[in-house]
Amino acid sequence: MKLTLTFITALFAATTLASPAPKSTKKVTYDGHKVLRLTIDDTASQAAHVSQLVEDLNLDVWTHGAIKPSHTVDIAIDADKLDRFYKKLGKVQYEVMYEDLGEAVRKETIAAADQSWFNAYHSYTEHIVYLNDLVKKFPANSKIVTAGTSYEGRAITGIHIFGSSGGGKKPAAIFHGTVHAREWITTMVSEYTAYSLLNNYANSTEVRGYVDKYDFYIFPVVNPDGFVYTQTTSRLWRKNRQPGQSCVGTDINRNWASNWAVSGGASTDPCNETYKGASAGSTPEYKGLSAFNNAKQQSQGVKFFMDYHAYSQLWMSPYGYSCTAVAADQTEHNRISRGAVAAIKAVYGTTFEYGPICTTIYKATGSSVDYTYDVTKVKYSYTAELRDKGASGFLLPANQIRPTSEEMWAGIKYVLGAMV
C-alpha cells in the first residue's frame, strides 16, 4: 500500500502557524568534514590521549560512551580542525568512514526523491501526513494521539492501533522513535511497525491476535524540533532545541527522572551531545512522554516499551545507570532478547548483540528504559540500536530502510508472542 500525501499543503500551513518561527540559521553543509573510525590499542594511555584530543577540539563522537583500550571510536572532524587533529593524533590507527561528509549528506537527500514510502526518507510534515493517512485507511483500528508538546510547540504525535473490541481496553505496547534527531532510520522503522500491524490485521491470524491482545501507541518522532532542525539546518543534530545556559539542546534520553543524578552516564556541559539538562525531567518532551506512559499504566497497564535508536545493532534491557545493578527481571529480559535477536537474524542474517544497556554499550543515566522499568513499572522495557555497525553510521542509505524495518518487525513479533 502506498499512501498518498492528500493534504500536505494544508497541514504544512497549519503546522507552520502552530509552531514558533525558528531564528534564521545558516545551514551546515559538512563540506570537507571527515568521519574516521579510530582503533584504540590495548593501552590506557592511548585511550586517554584520544579522549583528551576529542575534548580539546570539541569533536563529535558518533559512538558515545567512554573511549576505552582495545575498542573503536567513530569521530566526525570539521574541515577546519583536520590539520590540528592529524598533527595531534600520533600513532593511533584509523580508517576513513566518510571522506567528505557533505557529499554523503547530499547523496542521502538526492536518493530520497520519487520513491515509495519505505524506500526513502521524508520531511517531518510528510511523516505527520503519513500517520493521518494510515488512520484514514484503517479508521476502525487506529486514531491519532499526542503526548504533550515539544519546546518549540510541536505536538508529539503518534498513532494508536487497536483491535475489534476498541481502543484503550487492553495492555499497552509503547514505541518511541527519533529520540535523537539524526537517527532517521528509527522514524521509518517506527512507521513500518505501525503499517505492518494495520495492514496485516485482516489477513494474518498472528497479527490479528497481537492487535486484539494489546493497544499499540507508536510515536515515530518524539523529538520533532530536533528532527526538523536536521532537515533544515544541521543533519547531524542530536538533542532537542531547548536553549541552555551557553548552548542549545538537551539529550532527551539523559533527562528522564530515574537515576538522573548518578555520575558518569551523561554530561553536565550544556554544549555536550549527552547534556543531561538543568534538572531531572526538565525537558518538555520528557514531561509529555512520561505523563502519557504513566497514564496508560494507570488506566490499562503497559506491557511493553521499545525505544528505537541507531546505530550498532544491539537489543538492550535495563539497566543503563549502573553496570553492577541487576534488574529483578534480567533472566526474563535475556530470554526475550535472545529470541528477538534470533528472529532478527533469521530475516537477512543481521547479527545483534543483547544484554543490559550499561554492559552492552555504555553507561547511560536518565534513560527512558530505566525510567519505564523502575518508575512506570513496565516489565518488558527495551531499547534497540538499529543498523548498521558503523559503515554508514547515522547516514544509513535509503535502500536499507525496508530490510532494517522488516528484520525489526520480526523481532517485535517474537516479543509479542513470547511475553508472559
The string of pLDDT tens digits covering residues 354-390 is 999 999 999 999 999 999 999 999 999 999 999 999 8
Q: Which helix (H) or strand (E) holds 126?
A: helix 124-137
Least confident of 22-36, 75-89, 294-308, 354-368: 22-36
In single-letter form, the type of residue at position 213 comes to: K
Q: Kindly report whether the peptide bond that precedes residue 382 is cis, defined as omega within 30 degrees of 0.
A: no
Structural domain boundaries, residue 289: 109-418
Rounded to whole angstroms, how far apart are CA atoms 226 and 224? 6
Alpha helices, DSSP H, located in 58-100: 82-89
Tell me, what's the pLDDT at 11?
34
Q: Is the dihedral of CA 251, 378, 388, 390 positive or negative?
A: positive
Among 152, 183, 285, 385, the active-site one is 385
On the question of pLDDT at 40 being above 90, the answer is yes
Residue 411 lies in a domain: yes
On the question of pLDDT at 226 being above 60, the answer is yes
- 257 and 276 share a domain? yes
Tell me, what's the pLDDT at 20?
40
Q: Which helix (H) or strand (E) holds 299?
A: helix 284-299
On the question of pLDDT at 299 being above 90, the answer is yes
Residue 143 lies in a domain: yes
- 393 and 352 share a domain? yes
CATH number at residue 186: 3.40.630.10
- 53 and 159 share a domain? no
- 228 and 355 share a domain? yes
- 231 and 127 share a domain? yes
Residue 6 lies in a domain: no
Looking at 45, 64, 99, the residue that finishes a domain is 99
Looking at 74, 99, 124, the residue that finishes a domain is 99
CATH number at residue 64: 3.30.70.340
Residue range 131-149: average pLDDT? 98
Catalytic, 55? Answer no
Of the candidates 83, 89, 72, 242, the one whose C-alpha atom is nearest the C-alpha of residue 152 is: 242
On the question of pLDDT at 401 being above 80, the answer is yes
- 307 and 358 share a domain? yes
Looking at 48, 65, 99, the residue that finishes a domain is 99
Tell me, what's the pLDDT at 245?
85
On the question of pLDDT at 10 being above 80, the answer is no
On the question of pLDDT at 6 being above 70, the answer is no
- 114 and 50 share a domain? no
Q: In this predicted model, what pLDDT tens digit does every residue of 341-352 receive, in sequence order?
A: 999 999 999 999
Residue 21 lies in a domain: no
Q: Which residues pair with 381 in a beta bridge?
A: 305
Q: In this predicted model, what pLDDT tens digit does every residue of 80-129 receive, in sequence order?
A: 999 999 999 999 999 999 999 999 888 776 655 444 899 999 999 999 99
Q: How many domains does the chain have?
A: 2
Q: In this predicted model, what pLDDT tens digit does every residue of 247-268 receive, in sequence order?
A: 999 999 999 999 999 999 999 9
Residue 218 lies in a domain: yes
On the question of pLDDT at 143 being above 70, the answer is yes
Tell me, what's the pLDDT at 106?
85
Tell me, what's the pLDDT at 116?
86
Residue 14 lies in a domain: no
Tell me, what's the pLDDT at 63?
86
On the question of pLDDT at 321 being above 50, the answer is yes
- 162 and 92 share a domain? no
- How many helices (H) and strands (E) would you count in the chain? 13, 12
Tell me, what's the pLDDT at 110?
60
Tell me, what's the pLDDT at 351?
98
At residue 25 the predicted structure's pLDDT band, cuts being 50, 70 and 90, is low
Q: Which residues pair with 48 in a beta bridge?
A: none
The pTM (predicted TM-score) of the whole model is 0.86
- 39 and 128 share a domain? no
Residue 25 lies in a domain: no
On the question of pLDDT at 173 being above 80, the answer is yes
Rounded to whole angstroms, how far apart are CA atoms 48 and 399? 38
On the question of pLDDT at 174 being above 60, the answer is yes
On the question of pLDDT at 8 being above 80, the answer is no
